[in-house]
């Protein structure tokens, strides 16, 4: 079963990468125009394309790309003049830190808020949380980010507006990096908790209405024991599935929040690579997203299996 699943996943990734490769290369323009800018002439573009190997037929470039991939090479960024692998790693670390903190914080807060919402369903705490969830869900990410910067950076000068460290310090410490993470993490957390906590709240409420809970209560088991011993465990399953789907974001980040905060993460890199048609970076990131999405699903299924032994993978 797992072998079949891996085979179909591999096929999916192959199709995804192929589609993106051809779509990127067939889009009018090309990296030569990004590199040459206003100095681009027909002759200079042609010469530069020859230097970059972009004058070969697309099918040949495609095969060369796969050949290099099997050799462990992701290519060379046309614009940034760096090996793609080292670039991805540099940006990846930033994204990993950012989104891991965000997801962990979001998950913890979502469980807490969802628990309260589910337990007090129909009462004012649940309604208050519901209202906040709706507000948070409706707000666009760039708006939340911009407002946080306006208040905490511009008005109050409590936190930096953008970047990853204080550039005025020759050797910025951990504190500097942490301070620059606060607003981006808060932004992502607000946006994530709004939806995630609602899912969990609904799941908790649904579990609390089930027969086994009623039976346990009738047998005299304490509410806390039922809640923490059974309800949460069962209510976590849909949350785990959603987190599994969110797994790629830990590695690939998000374009909007990273752009607003000028945070050099993978999402930001992907966006800029797409705009400047820096194909090697763009296709490498798509490959990573594809692999991670599949891994994330697999991981979610495994965790769900641990949470509920009745789940079967055969």
Give the interface with another protein as residue ranges (CB under 8 A): 27-30, 33-48, 51, 76, 79-82, 87, 90-91, 146, 149-150, 153-154, 157, 160-164, 167-170, 259-260, 262, 264, 268-269, 272, 275-277
Nearer to another protein, 171 or 219 (CB): 171
Nearer to another protein, 84 or 204 (CB): 84
Nearer to another protein, 76 or 99 (CB): 76
Nearer to another protein, 1 or 26 (CB): 26
Q: Least distance (Å) from another protein to the CB of residue 33?
A: 4
Q: How far is CA 101 from CA 4, 186, 222, 223, in A?
A: 34, 10, 34, 32
**With contact defined as beta carbons under 8 Å apart, do 283 and 20 qualify?**
yes
Q: Least distance (Å) from another protein to the CB of residue 188?
A: 17
Distance CA 112, CA 246 (A): 19
Q: Least distance (Å) from another protein to the CB of residue 165?
A: 9
Distance CA 58, CA 24 (A): 11
Nearer to another protein, 80 or 298 (CB): 80
Q: Least distance (Å) from another protein to the CB of residue 48?
A: 5
Q: How far is CA 17 from CA 12, 64, 92, 200, 294, in A?
A: 9, 14, 20, 34, 14
Nearer to another protein, 162 or 234 (CB): 162
Q: Least distance (Å) from another protein to the CB of residue 18?
A: 23
Q: Least distance (Å) from another protein to the CB of residue 163?
A: 7
Distance CA 68, CA 58 (A): 15
Closest CA to 298 of 245, 237, 226: 245
Nearer to another protein, 145 or 231 (CB): 145
**With contact defined as beta carbons under 8 Å apart, do 91 and 265 qualify?**
yes
Burial class (CB in 10 A: 0-12, 13-18, 19+), 198: buried
Distance CA 302, CA 307 (A): 9
Distance CA 297, CA 242 (A): 9
Distance CA 198, CA 107 (A): 12
Q: Least distance (Å) from another protein to the CB of residue 22?
A: 17
């Amino acid at each position: 079963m797992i072998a079949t699943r891996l085979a179909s996943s591999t096929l999916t990734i192959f199709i995804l990468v192929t589609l993106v490769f051809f779509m990127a290369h067939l889009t009018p323009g090309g990296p030569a125009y990004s590199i040459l800018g206003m100095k681009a002439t027909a002759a200079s573009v042609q010469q530069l394309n020859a230097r970059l190997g972009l004058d070969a037929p697309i099918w040949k470039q495609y095969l060369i790309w796969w050949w290099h991939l099997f050799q462990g090479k992701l290519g060379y960024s046309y614009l940034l003049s760096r090996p793609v692998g080292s670039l991805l790693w540099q940006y990846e670390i930033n994204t990993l830190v950012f989104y891991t903190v965000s997801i962990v914080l979001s998950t913890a807060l979502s469980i807490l808020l969802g628990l309260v919402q589910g337990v007090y369903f129909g009462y004012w705490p649940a309604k208050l949380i519901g209202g906040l969830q709706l507000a948070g869900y409706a707000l666009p990410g760039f708006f939340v980010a911009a407002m946080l910067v306006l208040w905490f950076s511009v008005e109050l000068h409590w936190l930096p507006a953008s970047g990853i460290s204080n550039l005025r310090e020759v050797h910025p410490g951990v504190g500097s990096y942490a301070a620059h993470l606060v607003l981006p993490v808060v932004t992502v957390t607000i946006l994530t908790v709004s939806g995630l906590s609602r899912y969990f709240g609904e799941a908790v409420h649904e579990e609390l209405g089930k027969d086994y809970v009623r039976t346990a209560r009738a047998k005299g088991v304490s509410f806390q024991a039922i809640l923490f011993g059974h309800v949460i465990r069962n209510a976590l399953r849909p949350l785990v599935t959603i987190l599994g789907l969110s797994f790629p974001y830990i590695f690939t980040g998000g374009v909007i929040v990273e752009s607003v905060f000028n945070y050099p993460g993978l999402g930001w890199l992907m966006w800029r690579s797409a705009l400047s048609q820096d194909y090697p970076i763009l296709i490498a990131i798509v490959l990573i997203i594809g692999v991670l999405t599949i891994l994330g699903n697999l991981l979610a299924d495994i965790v769900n299996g641990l949470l509920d032994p009745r789940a079967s993978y055969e």
